[in-house]
Every structure is written in structure tokens, then in C-alpha cells.
Structure 1
Amino acid sequence: MASAQDPATAQHPASQNSNGSSDPRKSLDGVVEKEEERKEEELISPDTSDAQPETRAVTGWKWILICAGLYCAIFLYGLDNTIAADIQSAILETYGDVGQLAWIGTGFPLGSVATILPVGKAYGIFNAKWVHLGSVLVFCVGSAVCGATPNMSALIVGRVIAGVGGAGLYLGMLNLIAINTLEKERPAYMGGTGVIWGAGTILGPVIGGAFADSSATWRWAFYINLVIFGVLLPALFYIPSFNPQPGVSPVIKLKELDWIGTALIAGVYTLFVVVLTLGGVEWAWSDGRTIALFVVCGVILLLFMAQQFFAILTTPERRIFPIHFLKSRTMIILYACTACGSTAMFTVIYYIPLLFQFSRGDNGIESAVRLLPFIIVLSFFIMASGQLLGLFGYYMVFYLVGGAFLLIGASLMFTVRAGTNIGAVYGYEVLIAIGAGLIAQIAYSVGPSKVPPQDMAAAIGYMNVAQIGGLLIALAISGAVFQNIAFHDLNRLLSPLGHSAQEIHGAIAGSQSSLFVNLPSDVRDTAIELIVKSISSIYALVIAAGALCFVTGALLKREKLYDSKPVAAA
């Protein structure tokens, strides 16, 4: 998530006219020019006798409550990105529908990535306070559905709904902090955003595993969101209202959104996840339905590209994707490398606990604790990368070094087997953590510096789509690889012994399945070895990500961050 940048998303209340209205068509260029004119006037004729120190609109205990509510929201957003990583086995023990296993992890980021761009537009059109509170409501509804779900299908729907609300929580944090803080203090508050989101993301598996192993059950991994928001929600009502277009009716504001682009991009991501979830599990890869879904997904992607390029049923200013960034080699590479870092980070977070559940018989909390070396090192390098970037400046080096660490660590994880020494696995985790930590966040600093001021908000949204989209694609692909390879290998081993396909799918769901319990010890050991090998195969995706990051990072300009010039706006 964005950390230390001041997104230009948020038009400051000072930009409103004296009568309380504002021009809805006014670009951030005008705000920037007026601010520069004001500073020049102060330099020419400073009036220090009457100068008053600038203060926030909200101070004291109310401001503390507002910050607590906002940071709590971003923590829960990060938490829900990964909390499902260590409760999958417990959920499948409840419902037994292993064919939909991948949806437990992909549902939440799918809802986020499909809506984060239109929600970002909404914050620039509607009252930011009420858009944020609406996002909190949607997030809580999704969490309630997940906790009370009677079946796997309802759980998936709840995860998607929560993801939609989560996108609003994240963007609300960025906008409301930018609107309600002073320029000199804003970087510190923005820096806290990345730290809090990261803490939630890396603690998700630990908290989820703790609930899954307790008498509370896995359902409280979702109910906990309702409890926390129930306590802190009153604090959010102290947020000052800010309407960037107070004189414009809601109907006209709704028309400003690119609804066609929103529907098309949501369709692309949804179909991509559906085909990878069903392919090889519910349907054969050669099945006409699988092929048809691939074709339809490709067609919708082409339609989205055409609609955005030619601004069909929208305008260049209102289209949902900042297509002019694709004219910049740097912005394209930053997008790809950010997706690579997200791929590596979330592959480890989701599959290291599963690896230890099978190879060492760990329960939920024990397997989550195995992530601690990864979590500690990842957190350190995410924070250190921001500091080092400010001191060193040459951002290309971070992608080269980070890509190399990903490539080495993932290659070693690819060789892991059931009997591999635990210390070795920890070491391989750490190598990936170094690489992912170096590249996970710095695009949020580099990207906005490469665009004009009026495009800073779009640059942050662009990088966030890369990060969440990379997570979604990684989980969809890794889920398909794991399900297909594990089932193929186990089927050859167990079907001659009279076990059905349904029983084999159940075995893939968790090491505590009834099939594993009843297998002869030698057959069980062989089965576990095959499953661990299939988990290791997933790291081919991280190897590819590391190689892509290393190669494309070498194509970045050899320049310091603050010596670079913005690309021309299109």
C-alpha cells in the first residue's frame, strides 16, 4: 500500500471558493498554481506581524479518535487480505467443497481490484467522509456474511463484498489523511498507513490460525471485524465533511463515473479467477466450457482496452484507467515489478503454513508461527527500503537486487521436499522476504515523482492495481497449480487402492483429513511427499516473478529519484 507519498487525490478544503462552492471541472493544476502564487507573494511581501501558525480543522482528542478509526480500518483491510491463509483447512472441514478452495483466498482481492479505480474516482466526486463510512458498512456486511455463512458459496460472496468495502477503506485513509492534515505533518501520517497495512497483512495468518484452533472457530476470524468497528465506528463520525463538488447534483456526479470501464475490468478479473478455479478441478482443461471462458475473458479484455483507448461512452478525463501511463517505459516497469513483489509475498504467506501442516503435522497457529522469520525480515526491509531510497536515490538498484533475491530464494523453495531441514526452509523464506521487502512499496514513491502533479492520484491508484492485481493473479494461478498437480499425483497413488476422486480432493484440503488418518503409514508418507512437492512447484511462479523483476529493473533509467523529471501528461 502507499506509504509516504502525499497523494494529490485529495483536494484540500482550501481550494474551495469563498462562497463554499467549487468548480467541479477544476484540475489540481489550478490548485498547485495558486499555491505557488501564494508562496511567491509571501516571499515578496511577507507580513509576519499578523501571521498565525497553520492548524488542523480537528485537533485534540477528536483527532486522536479519528486517527484511531482510520488506522484501525486500514489494519483490518490488510488483515483480511491474508487471514484466510491459515483457516482454509478448517473451512473445508466444515463444508468439504475443495473445488472452491482457491476462492477463499482470491475472493477478497477480487472485490478490491475490480472496484478500486471507480472507488478512487468516487472520492474525488462525492463527500469523502460519507464514501468512507459507506465503505465501512460494505466491509462489515461482507464480514458478517462470511462469519454466518451456511455454505461455501455464501462465504465466497461475503469475501467479494468485503473486498469491495476494503478498497474503499484503503482509499478513504489516503484521501482523508491528505485532506485533514497539514503539509508538514502529512508524510508522517502517510508513512503510518504503509506500516499499519503491512502489520495487518503479515499478522493475518497468525490471527486466523489462532481463531481456527480455538473454541471460537474460524468464523470469528471474520466476526472480529464487526467487534472492532463497533467500538471505533463512533470515532469516524468526527471526520469533517469534505465535498469536492458541493454544487453538483448526485445524478450528475454518478454520470461522471466510467461505468462501462468498471464493468469491463471487473468482468476480466472475475472470469480469469473463475476459469483458473474451475479448470482442472471441476472441468477438464480441454472442456468446451473452460475454453469458452478463456475466450470470453480475452474478448472482454480487448473490449476494455479499446473502450479506454478511444474513451467510448466516457471522456479521456473520466476513463477509469490512466492509459497515458503506458507511454512511459518507467511506469510500465514499475507496474510489472510491483506485481512481482506482491506475487512473491502472498505466495509465501499462503503456502508456507500449508507446507508445514503437511510436512510437520502443524496445527493452524503452529504453522502460522513458521511465518515469523518471513514476517520479521519482510517488515524490516519494507521500512528500510523507504529510508534507503531517500538516502541513496537510485531506485533501479532496488529492483535489480530485489529481483535477484526473489529468483534465488524461489529457486531454493522449488527444491523443498517433506524431509527438508526446517532451518533451510526458514533461510529460503528469508531470501524471498528480502527481495519482496525491497520492491514491495517503493513504486508508491517513484511513480508519483514520474508524473505531473495532477496525475499523482492516478499514479497511486495505478500502483495499487498492480499490487492487488498481482496478489489476485498469483493466488489464482498458484491455486490452480497446487490443485491440479496434487490431484494428478495423488490420484495415481490412491485410486488403485480404491479411494474416490472426492476423497482425494479432501486429502488435498488438509493433512488432518480422514483419508490421511486411515492410510497405512508408508502410503501416507508417500502421499505427503507428493503434496509437498506440488506446493514447491508453485514457486515456479515466484521464480518467473523474480526473473521478470530483475530483467525489467535493468531497463530502468540510471537516475536518482529526486533528479528525475515527470513524464508528459497525455
Structure 2
Amino acid sequence: MALSPLRLRLLVVSLLTVSFIGALDNTVVSTSLATIAGDLGALQHLGWVIVGYTLASTVTLPIIGKLGDLFGPRAVFLASLVVFVAASFACGLASSMAWLIVARVVQGMSSAGLQLMSQTIVARVTSPRERPRLMAIIGAAFPIAILVGPVLGGLIADTWGWPWIFWINIPIGFAAFALALFAVPHVAPGVKARFDFAGAASLTVALTALVLAVTWIGDPALGSPSVLAFAVSALAFIVFFVVEFRVADPLVPLRVFANRTVAAGVAISAIIGVGLFSITSYLPTYFQMTYGLSATASGLVPIATVFGMLVSNLLTGWLASRTGHYRPFPLIGTALGAGGLFVMSVLPAGLPLWVPMVVMAVVGVGTGAFMSLIVAVVQSAVSDRETGTITSTVNLVRQVGSTVATAVIGGVVGFGVAALLPAGLDASTLTPQLVQGSGGAVQAEVAAIYHDVFSPVFLALAITYGVGIVASVLLPAGRLSAERVAEPEPLAV
């Protein structure tokens, strides 16, 4: 479907706006969690404001992707936007933590629809050659949301009150909806088929149990529930794979993984979640404890990382669209990520802050080189009728990889620090302020402990990017076509 230049620009503006408020909605809440929990009197359930959102957006990804293929991405996109705005209104009205958590779950589900359908719509109305540039523009919403979300959330909460963190989505959402009605074209759905309810149910159970298991595993009081959740997840995944091989129109068509482009691309996408998204949340703590930095100064390293990702994402998207070549970017990107994380694993403590900032910026540049591009490449390897499904699969492995790796890193750091702390220091009450208020000997010892605990974590993540190098080597070479066809041929098998 060819769009006029004006309508294409309006489409990109509409999708970017919606993607931004969807991405921003998680980061903007983080700075106000304690205030929200205090007002609602439920500090013990604080984590579920984030976990409920993440869990809902994760488990609904494959279902929404399939619905987009069956009913058309425009319908699912507009419906998701309406639900997202309604859920944002409900979040701001919350009078109890239970109310807020339920509203956040609905918000997470609709946010997954906005994210997926934005990428699917771009794929359905553009040629493979155009997609990397437009995907990069829309994909820029995520790193921008990471950069501005916490600051914006704190500013809104301090100025207008925390309900406006959610209500700010309403006028923006209405404006985006009005623009989308005109800008988002009608895209023919795929071949009508029976929805795979058995596959959807088994995968939902599997992913829900997995996310709960990795969320609980770091809490000694939840050890048994965590083990049970892992067992339920494993059993549900077995049922899911059996179902998918037997049904005529599966939720996730496993046969597409016989295509090397799809298999390698999905593996490369997982590297982003496992290798970078998982560590960014721990970087401020690492630098506060190891370098004795303030909370503000410690945030400079993840900011440098995300900024590198943003610039690289836009640049490589433009280059891939201009030349049609895509394989060099994940090769270079995974190599930069592996090298940067390896350097982080051997950096001595106490160096000037600009040194790790530069190193992690290199990791961000490497990751941005294939963050959005790989989605466009994988989309180009399947037929139009499976665009939503394959897009959801790429995003799903990235999100699950991030969730699992984040929990594993948290467990490793928590147990490692607790095991090495000297007598008199309790890991459960150890804060940067407490350490920085202690004597020089205690500060040096804690810094050495955190450095020793994080070094193997950085090394493991470097190895993860090394696996990404192998996947990038296996990614078939080729050029993205400048012609848009209804049933594109796979790039290579």
C-alpha cells in the first residue's frame, strides 16, 4: 500500500507519539512509587505496580500479534489506544493499591498492543528497504522514555500530584487517536482462521509462571512458590509446544524458525534483553557503591549508555534504508557490546567516572546498531499475513530475556554481596548513604566487594553478546528490497 509523503509523515508522527506514551508510562512511574504507595497505604504491594504492568505486557504480546494478523493491525491499534487512555484515567482515580494494580495490568496489556501494532503497521505499508529508517524513528521512543521518564515523572508528581502521571496520557492519547484515524491506513487482515485458544492459554500460563518465578526467586520467603512457579512454567511450555505442532493455524508458527533469517534474528533480538536491558537498572547502585557517587552522578552512566543507543539506532536505520545492507550492523554491534562489557569486567575500581561512561556508551552504540533494525529484517523474511505474529515473537524473546536476566543478576548480586560483607554490615539494610557515612576502610571494603561481585556479571553479559556475534555470522547476507510485495519471499533459508 503506497502512501503519499504527507500521509507517511503523519503516520510516523502518530505512531511515534503513541509508542512514546506507551514506553514512557513505565519509566515515568518509577520516581513516584513511594509517594503513591504512601498515599494508598500499601507499601508492601509497591512492587506489583511495576510487576503487574510488565507481566501483562509480556504475556499478551503473542496474543495481540496474532489478533493483528487476523483482524488487521489498524483495528487492534486503535482499540489498544482507547483501552490505554481509559486505563490511564482509571489509574489516576485509584483509591486503593488493588485498584491501581488492576488498572496497571490493563494498561500493560494495551501498551503491548500499541508497541506491536506500530511496528506491524510500518511493515505492512512500507517496503523492506524503508522499514529500518522508520522503525528506528519509532523505536527511538524507548531510549528517549528512559532518559526523560524519571525526571518528568518527578516533576509532574511534585507539581500536579501523582494522578497526573497517568492523566497526562489522556489529552495526548486523544490527539494521537484523532491523528491515527486519518493517518493509519486500512490494512487487509490475513487469511481468516480459527484463533489458537489452546496455544494462547498454555503460553499465557507458561509466561505468567515464569515471570512470577524469576520475580520471587530473590526473596527467601518465597523460595517454595518460586520453585512451584518454575515447574508450572516448564509444564505449560511443554503443552504449548505440543499444541503448536498440532494445530492448523498456531499462535506462534514454529515452522518459520527453519528460516535462518528468522532464527538468527530472534536470537540477536534476545541478546538486547539479556545483555543490556537487564544490567541498566543495576548500574546506578554499582557506581554508588563502587565509586561512592551520589544518586544523581551515578545516573550519568546509564544515561550515556541509552544516549549511545539512541544515536546508533537512528544512524543505522538510516544507513540500512539507504543501502539495503543489514548484516554488517548486528555484526559490528554485537562485537562492540561484547568488547565493552568485557572491558567493564576488568576495569579497576576508582577510575574517573568518564572512563566507564565511555565504555558503556560504546555498549549502547553497539546495541542500538541492531535494536530496531533486526525487527525490520525478520519481518521481511515472512509473508504479510504473519507480520504481527513474527513481530510479537521478536519482542517477546527480548522482553522475557530482560525479565529473566534482570532477576538472575539481582540474585547474584544480592547473594554475592551478602556472602562477602564483613561482620556488622547487613546486606538487607545496606544503602549508599550508610556506606558513604562510614569510615574510609568500610567504604573501601564495600567498594571492593561490589567490584568483585559485578565483574563476573559483566563478563557473563559479554559472553552473551559473544553468542550474538555467532548469531550475526549465521544471519544470511542480502539486501532489503525497495519493492513492496504482498507476499515477500524470505531473505534466505
Q: TM-score, normalised by structure 2?
A: 0.80
Instruction: Report the structure, 1 or 2, having the larger helix content.
Output: 2
| 1:549 and 2:491 are equivalent in the alignment | no
Letter in 1 for 2:428: H
Does structure 2 retain, via aligned residues, the 8 Å contact 1:85–1:350? no
| Deviation at residue 275 of structure 1 after TM alignment | 1.4
Q: Cα deviations across residues 226-280 of structure 1 (Å, max 9, x unaligned)? A: 352255444445567848579x9xxxx8x83222212222222221121122123
Does structure 1 retain, via aligned residues, the 8 Å contact 2:132–2:318? no
Flag structure 2 segments of 5+ consecutive residues without an equivalent.
Answer: 482-487
| 1:298 and 2:234 are equivalent in the alignment | yes
Does structure 2 retain, via aligned residues, the 8 Å contact 1:410–1:542? yes
Instruction: Report 1:202-221 matches (<5 A).
Output: 202-212=144-154, 215-216=158-159, 220-221=164-165
Partner of residue 74, structure 1: 19
Does structure 1 retain, via aligned residues, the 8 Å contact 2:261–2:491? no
d(CA) in 1 for partners of 2:456, 2:45: 19
Partner of residue 371, structure 1: 302
Does structure 2 retain, via aligned residues, the 8 Å contact 1:99–1:278? no
Q: 1:464 aligns with which of 395, 398, 418?
A: 395
d(CA) in 1 for partners of 2:131, 2:491: 27
Does structure 1 retain, via aligned residues, the 8 Å contact 2:20–2:145? no
Q: TM-score, normalised by structure 1?
A: 0.70
Instruction: Report 1:414-453 matches (<5 A).
Output: 414-415=345-346, 419-452=350-383
Does structure 2 retain, via aligned residues, the 8 Å contact 1:132–1:168? yes
Partner of residue 505, structure 1: 428
Does structure 1 retain, via aligned residues, the 8 Å contact 2:69–2:388? no
Cα distance change on mapping 1:199 and 1:178 into 2, 3 Å:
closer
Identical residues among aligned pairs (%): 22
Does structure 1 retain, via aligned residues, the 8 Å contact 2:292–2:436? no
d(CA) in 1 for partners of 2:288, 2:33: 11
Flag structure 1 segments of 5+ consecutive residues without an equivalent.
Answer: 1-11, 13-53, 496-503
Partner of residue 257, structure 2: 326
| Deviation at residue 397 of structure 1 after TM alignment | 3.7
Partner of residue 266, structure 1: 204
* SS of alignment partner, residue 228 of structure 1: helix
Does structure 1 retain, via aligned residues, the 8 Å contact 2:337–2:366? yes
d(CA) in 2 for partners of 1:408, 1:91: 41
| 1:229 and 2:229 are equivalent in the alignment | no
Partner of residue 124, structure 1: 69
Does structure 2 retain, via aligned residues, the 8 Å contact 1:415–1:536? yes
| 1:336 and 2:267 are equivalent in the alignment | yes
Letter in 2 for 1:307: V
Q: Please say which structure displays the higher CA radius of gyration.
A: 1
Partner of residue 539, structure 1: 458
Letter in 2 for 1:551: V
Partner of residue 3, structure 1: none
d(CA) in 1 for partners of 2:111, 2:15: 12
Partner of residue 171, structure 1: 116
Partner of residue 561, structure 1: 479
Partner of residue 409, structure 1: 340
Partner of residue 24, structure 1: none
| Deviation at residue 157 of structure 1 after TM alignment | 4.7
Does structure 1 retain, via aligned residues, the 8 Å contact 2:132–2:372? no
Does structure 1 retain, via aligned residues, the 8 Å contact 2:69–2:387? no
Q: Cα deviations across residues 103-144 of structure 1 (Å, max 9, x unaligned)? A: 666544432231122212223334755533331233234445
d(CA) in 2 for partners of 1:337, 1:111: 24
| Deviation at residue 426 of structure 1 after TM alignment | 0.7
Partner of residue 138, structure 1: 83
* SS of alignment partner, residue 140 of structure 2: helix
* SS of alignment partner, residue 372 of structure 2: coil
Does structure 2 retain, via aligned residues, the 8 Å contact 1:493–1:527? no
Letter in 1 for 2:251: I
CA-based RMSD of the aligned residues comes to 4.3
